[in-house]
Structure 1
């Protein structure tokens, strides 16, 4: 029994190291960049670079793995990610950090896809949900721990850069020395905007707006917190609390979306997000407890929207298209993630720190207006035709392999003909809404 669990434990450990290093790296860069005098626009472009690299990694990693194998590809991704972190320490300038951040995004996406494909290989009908749940909890805990570790030292030195690089290297060890079998080729999806729009216009538009909002906040939250004079400890909490609140809120939001029209649930959640936007914009809150409470409200809303959108799209998906729809929406989210940090960064440079929430507010207003329009045009999905809501990790950390791992066995069996598998890898050792 213990022996059968060891390969899974190794994969989860590798994923935890990966997410921990990503949490450290993702937060130290905007904090250090702010201290070095980088403009908000250049710091926003860090998020844009990450998103470009992450989308490219989701699309290109399957071919790389088919050519060199899972273990070699995973080792290369972790090693390059570690080099990218150290390069950010050696050359402290935004014009180096932006392309290096894109490289980090590419490697992070590739490494996550490889871990998830291994987990997917070991998951059967009886254990799939449990494995996905454990994987999600491990990643959430590791990301939060990586962000919170910044409270233990000085962000102006080299320690956190070196720590992130070391943990990226640690991430490759569990899979390198485990005896797990070589998994099947990675899931590969293409971006079919016409097909996605035909399936569900509101899902495409909403996930684009959520990408704009969430990526803008995820990239520039630390910059906003620093500019309203929060201490380092509070900045770490400001970045971490929204993620935890969003994870917790997925349970009640999921229950509501299974009982009622998901579009109405999405509108309701977005209205509360708009309330958080307005409170940040118009109260001028700077007291740490007040700011952290507002960040919890913001995170509880914006980080619980994505699973509702995916569930609504899957309500309308044809049999055999589950992973293609989920993976396609993820790529649309990536497009929004490219736009959001860029626009918000330039707005913060020109009009001040609170402009971050003006940008997220505009995205949320557009989402509500489009959803209200679709409510008038298309009827709701009947209860018997609804797909089961499933809590999901942060969209920014999801890949097409995440959709495959989250799917139940019947969805995987239906999707099998629509997959675009890569060639067999070498042996590791040598009316629609």
Structure 2
């Protein structure tokens, strides 16, 4: 307890932030469906959020370096609260889309600030445990925020106000904390060309996973409502896959450490595609069948990102682990921009099944490309593999998450590699901080 009391304020602030994010992320598609918004416009909410999130990852280090952590966090939380309240006042998708982009920007910035603060406060011997607790707090809080919608009427103002309250409450623990403000954020330089050279499967795969995961995260509630599920089932349909994906990372990680990770990725894509095909052809209408399929689907799709990350790290040069993770997160964000937009068009054209038609197309492409790469390049020997580690869902991760998850030795290696880049990366090394 003595070790974790100094960071309890940060964990509590993060819990409030993720709770508000869970409320905000689910109330908009549920209320938007009730207001008669089209699937296309609701998909654009996810695209707007992803654009804002990527922008927040890029802009936050500069803001923190100018005004500090506490002021920056206050700005992010205040603007996030304003955006959800403005969504209540302006019940039109063309106002909600830019407001959702503002929310994504603020959410990314606030998460990066908390994560960088935790990273500096965590002792080297406790870094792994702090990261694990932080991940569990975020998963529980986000799920609780989604499930709280089952306790009231989504047609009124209640949950918009609840979300705004918790965004504001996230300010309190850090504002009254006596902990010293940390150093400026660690800048993660992105080298997409180097990542492509090291692991084409990782770069191509994480983009496709970003498409499918973000499409489901944005439009799962819309799908559930369109097939006739009640509100409690809609909340479960959105949250149960995330929980299943978190649990599945344990056996998936065990397997990927003992075989070619690319075959594990193919297996997960096959499981996901099978679930998607069942949704498309069967189109179940009862609660049990939908939740069972959603759990299997979520176990597959939300386990793919950590397998891809581990595979990329197997091929990465020493001192580039944080850079690799930051690059993959940015490419995942680009997929997150495209996924909800494509799925929204699909649902507008062919109905609810359009959501899973988008996902199955991305997973088939993932299977074909990964099998091609397996034939073109031999697997990494087990002795040379990096250890698989459970990873937060990429949609809520930032480049600062990679720093928090890294050991102090890895951070020092990355700092040194900034001054002495590998020979094959001295040319065309981007200078964009994320």
Tell me, in whole angstroms, the C-alpha distance in 2 between the residues paired with 1:370 and 1:411. Answer: 31
Give me the CA root mean square deviation: 1.2
SS at match of 1:184: coil
Match of 2:370 in 1: 371
Instruction: Quote how far apart the aligned CAs of 1:6 are.
Output: 2.8
Match of 2:217 in 1: 218
Match of 2:259 in 1: 260
Match of 1:48 in 2: 47
CA displacement 1:208-246 (0-9 Å, x = unmatched):
000000000000000000000100010000001000000
Instruction: Quote how far apart the aligned CAs of 1:28 are.
Output: 0.2
**Is this contact kept in 2: 1:212–1:336, CA < 8 A?**
yes
Instruction: Quote how far apart the aligned CAs of 1:163 are.
Output: 0.3
Match of 1:186 in 2: 185
Assess, with a 3 A threshold, how the Cα gap between structure 1 residues 419 and 61 changes in structure 2: closer, same or farther: farther
**Is this contact kept in 2: 1:348–1:354, CA < 8 A?**
yes
Instruction: Quote how far apart the aligned CAs of 1:7 are.
Output: 2.7
Tell me, in whole angstroms, the C-alpha distance in 2 between the residues paired with 1:350 and 1:419. Answer: 48
Asked if 1:108 corresponds to 2:111, the answer is: no
Match of 2:431 in 1: none
Asked if 1:39 corresponds to 2:38, the answer is: yes
Tell me, in whole angstroms, the C-alpha distance in 2 between the residues paired with 1:258 and 1:185. Answer: 35
Tell me, in whole angstroms, the C-alpha distance in 1 between the residues paired with 2:370 and 2:329. Answer: 19
**Is this contact kept in 1: 2:149–2:159, CA < 8 A?**
yes
CA displacement 1:335-379 (0-9 Å, x = unmatched):
000000000001101111111101000000000000000000001
Structure 1, unpaired ranges of 5+: 421-430
Alignment of 1:246-285 (within 5 A): 246-285=245-284
Tell me, in whole angstroms, the C-alpha distance in 2 between the residues paired with 1:191 and 1:41. Answer: 32
Asked if 1:151 corresponds to 2:150, the answer is: yes
Match of 1:228 in 2: 227
Instruction: Quote how far apart the aligned CAs of 1:419 are.
Output: 5.4
Match of 2:7 in 1: 8
Instruction: Quote how far apart the aligned CAs of 1:185 are.
Output: 1.6
SS at match of 1:266: helix
Tell me, in whole angstroms, the C-alpha distance in 2 between the residues paired with 1:419 and 1:170. Answer: 38
Instruction: Quote how far apart the aligned CAs of 1:194 are.
Output: 1.3
Tell me, in whole angstroms, the C-alpha distance in 2 between the residues paired with 1:257 and 1:188. Answer: 30
Alignment of 1:19-34 (within 5 A): 19-34=18-33
CA displacement 1:100-153 (0-9 Å, x = unmatched):
000000000000000001110012221011000000000000000000000000
**Is this contact kept in 1: 2:52–2:102, CA < 8 A?**
yes
> Scaled by the length of structure 2, what TM-score is found?
0.95
**Is this contact kept in 2: 1:44–1:344, CA < 8 A?**
yes
Tell me, in whole angstroms, the C-alpha distance in 1 between the residues paired with 2:46 and 2:375. Answer: 36
Match of 1:427 in 2: none
Alignment of 1:78-89 (within 5 A): 78-89=77-88
Structure 2, unpaired ranges of 5+: 425-434
* Runs of 4 or more above 3 Å deviation: none
Instruction: Quote how far apart the aligned CAs of 1:190 are.
Output: 4.2
CA displacement 1:68-102 (0-9 Å, x = unmatched):
00000001100000000000000010010000000
Which stretch has the larger CA shift, 402-411 or 251-260?
402-411
Match of 1:301 in 2: 300
Match of 1:426 in 2: none
Tell me, in whole angstroms, the C-alpha distance in 2 between the residues paired with 1:190 and 1:88. Answer: 35
Match of 2:354 in 1: 355
Tell me, in whole angstroms, the C-alpha distance in 1 between the residues paired with 2:161 and 2:417. Answer: 43
